[in-house]
A = this chain, B = another copy of it.
Amino acid sequence: MKQPPVPVKPWPESDPAVDALVTEVIGRVADKWTMLVLEVLADHSELRFTQISRLVPDVSQKMLTQTLRQMERDGLVVRTVFPVVPPRVEYRLTDLGLSLGAAFCGVWRWAEENLRRIEAARAEFDARQKR
């Protein structure tokens, strides 16, 4: 049984150049803060800076700024500055960002569904290490 029952990768990508690019993109997008920011923006449609910082636990303003800039650069997010005082800046997902959110949907569901299994696996692993 060489092949898993469900194909986990849609098509076996063989072009090394494309593969390298995909790897690079995955490396960028598969980031803790990126995913968490993506999640809250996917849920709320548009948010201000401080709202995001409240919704994403433990993110520093430095990392949040950095993450949002990166996402903006990658075309995942649009940043709208309202010329008012005090300043008002809103973030919302682009279509591209929305599609990434949809792609990550399965991962969030997986995480929720398998919390217990993971905790159990860790406990067992740690117990085995002690012996």
Contact = CB atoms under 8 A, between A and B. Distances in A.
Interface of A: 1-4, 6-10, 12-13, 18, 20-23, 25-27, 29-32, 34-36, 39, 42-45, 57, 72-75, 93, 96, 98-112, 114-115, 117-118, 120-122, 124-126
Contacts of A27: 32, 36
Nearest to A106: B103
A21 B117 CA distance: 12
B117 A110 contact: no
B42 A74 contact: no
B45 A101 contact: no
Report how many copies the assembly holds.
Answer: 2
Most buried by B among A44, A98, A102: A102
Q: Is the interface of A mostly helix, strand, loop or mixed?
A: helix
Contacts of A100: 107, 110, 114
Contacts of A120: 75
B117 A75 contact: yes
Nearest to A19: B57
A45 B30 CA distance: 22
Nearest to A57: B23
Given A4-B101, A23-B36, 9 more contacts: A7-B105, A8-B42, A8-B101, A25-B114, A25-B118, A74-B122, A96-B118, A99-B114, A102-B106
